[in-house]
Structure 1
Amino acid sequence: MPFALPDLPTVRRTNRDNLAAFLKGADASVPNNALRVLSDQNAGGAFLNLKYLAYIAKNALPDKAEGDWLLRWAYILFGGPKAATFASGTIAVTGVKGTLLPAESILATSDSVEYQTKADVYLSGLATEVAVACLTAGAIGNRDAGAPLSLSVAVSNVNADAKVVRIDGGADTESDDDLRTRVLLRLRRPPQGGDADDYVQWALAVPGVTRAWSSPNGMGIGTVVVRFLCDALRAGNAGLPTDADLAAVRAYLDTVRPVCVKDFFVVAPIPQRLAIKIRNLSDDTPSTRLAIEAALQMLLLERAAPGQTIYAAWVSAAISEVVGDGYFDLDFADAVMASPGHMASLAASAGGGIAYP
C-alpha cells in the first residue's frame, strides 16, 4: 500500500487527539493556550520530517531523482553529466585592406554574449571570414547566419560591426531528463563488451548527441554502423549532425569500442520526407495547425528511427489528440523508409511537411 503524506492540518489534529487520549485532563482545543501552542509546534516539526522522508523516497532511486541525487547516480555509473560546450564558427569582418585584426579580439552581440577571434587575420578589403569562439559555454553561443556583432574595443581601420557567417556547436549542460534517460539505460542495459546497446550509450555520452542507434553487421559481417542526431545542437538542420559532429563521435567511440570490430562507420541518418495532407479540419485555425505540427514532431521524436516505418495509424492518433471531438480527413499511407539508413522527417530541408489542401 503506498504511503500517503498527510497535510499539516491533519498532523496537527492527530497530535491534539493523542494528547487528549493519553494525557488525562489535557485540552489542546483551546486557542492559544500553552498546550495548544506546544502541540502545534510539535506537529509542525513532525510534518517537516514527513516531508523530508517523502523527498528521500522520491530521490532514492534514479527513475524520479533530481538534482544532486541524480548526479550521484551519474557519477557512479559513468562519470557524470555531459558538460556544456562552447560554440565556434566564423564571422564576416570588413575594413581597410591589409589591416590586422589581432587574435583574441573581442566582439559582442546585443545581448552581451562575447566571442573571441582565434588568430591574427589581415583583412582583404572585402568581407573577410574570421574564426571565432564563444567565451560562454552553452547553446546561448549559437547564432543564426547574418546576426550582428560589434567589436568591444575599436581597432583602427576595422569596421566595428560584423556579421555571423556560421556559429554553432554550443550545447548546454545535460538536463536532468536527458541524464535520467542515460542513467536508466545504463542500469537496464549494462555493458556487454561492445554489443549494440553499448554503442548507443557511448554515442549518447558525447556532448550534443540526443538520440543514437547502432546497426550490427550494417555494412556486412563484423561491421557496426552508428547513426545519431543532435536535436538541440542542430535544431536548425532537423538535428542532423555536421561533419565535425560525426568526427567527434567517431573519435570518442574509437577510445571505448572493441578493437576486434572488422569495420566501423559513424554516419548521419538520411532524412525521408513525410508528406501529410489534412483535409476538412473542423477547427482549421493557426493555433490548431501549430498544435498539430507540434504533436507530429513529438510523434517522430518518440517513434522515428533509421529504417522505422511510420504508420498512418500513429499519425492519425497524434492528430486526434489535438482535434479531440472534432474531425478531419487524413491523406497519408504508411511511410516505409527507403533504406535502413533513412529516417522520417517533417523538416523543410527534407522536402516534407503538412499540407491543408
Structure 2
Amino acid sequence: MRARSIPPPPPAVRRLLAPLWPLVGVVVTGLMVPVVLAGAVHALVDRRARLLRMACLAVLLLWVDIRTLARCWALAAGSVTSGRVPWRRAHERVFTEALDALMFYTRRWLGLEVRLSDRMHFGTDGRPLLALARHAGPFDSLAIAWLLARTAGRLPRIVLAEALRWDPGVDTLLTRLDSYFVPSAGRDRLAGVRGMAASLAPDDVLLLFPEGENWTPARRARLIERLRRGGEDERAERAERLVNVLPPKVRGAWAARSARPDADVMIVAHAGYGQLSSARLVWEAMPFHDRPFLVRTWTYRAEDVPDEPVAFAAWLEARWRQVDAWVSTHTAAGGIPTALGPDEQTGA
C-alpha cells in the first residue's frame, strides 16, 4: 500500500500518540533485543551482518525520532516562544541536527555515502529555490534533504504524505516548520504546495518530487499500460523513452512555480540506488560501501524558466529527459554508479 493512500490518524489519536511515543520506543527496543542477538549470531554466517545492521539501525533511528520529539516539547515549554523568528530558528536547528543524526547512523551502519558528481550552484542570493528531484530507491528523500541543508545551507521545506502524521516526531516538528502534509483524499491537494511556495523566505528551498512516487520497473510498466489503455499513445511513447524515471507530474511543480515566479529552480538527479526497487534487492545490496549515492544538479535562474503552464510543462519534461540520460550514463551493471572523475566531490 502506498503511503499517500493511508489515511492520517484522527485528531484524538494524534494527541494520544505523542505522549505514548517514548513508551513505544522502550517496548520496541525491548522486542528488538532478541533480533539484535540473533543478528549477531547470524553475522557468523552472513559476513555482511545484514540482520544485525538493520536491527541496530531501526532502534537507533526510532530513538533519533523520540529525541526530536522531546526537543520539540522542550522548546514549547521554554522561553523560545517569545518571537516567531527565534521559535522557527530553534526548530530549524532541531531539524538539521535530526538530519545529521539520521545520515550519521545510516552511513555508520549501512555505508550510505553521498557524493557530488559536479559542483552545486544554489541559485541567486536573496531568492528562494525550488528543488525538483528524481524519486527512486531507498533513502533518496533523506539524502537530498540533508544535502540541501548542509551543502546548500538552505533548510528544505518538504511536501509529505499525510500518513506520516502517524509518526509523532515527524508530525510535531514538520508541522511547526509549516511543511505540507498532502491529504490522502478530498480537498485541493495543490493548495498546500501553493501556500508553501508563496511563504518561502529568501534562504528557503522547497523540495518536490514531481514523479509523485518512487520509480520501480513495475510502476513504469503499469503507467505505460494505463496510458495505452486510455488512448494516450503519444504520452505512452514519451514514457517508454524514459528508462530510469517516471514522467513528471507537472501540476505540483507548476503550482509552486506559479506561486513563486521569482524562485530559481534546481533539478536534482541521482544514481546508485534507483535499481534497488524492492526489499529483496535492498537486502542483497547491503551494506552499500561500493555503492555511493551520486548526485548531479542543474540550477536555472527564475528568468530562464518558462512562466506559462504549457511551456513550463514542456520545459520540465525536457529536464526529466536530461535526468534520465544522466542516470543512464552514470549507472553501470547492477545499478552501481560509474567511477567518479577527479573533479567529483564527496558530500558525506
Pairwise TM-score range, normalised by the shorter structure:
under 0.3
Length-normalised TM-score, structure 2: 0.21
Q: Which has the higher contact order (CA 8 A, sep 6+)?
A: 2
Length-normalised TM-score, structure 1: 0.21
* Structure (1/2) with the larger strand percentage: 1
When Rg is computed on C-alpha atoms for both structures, the one with the higher figure is 1
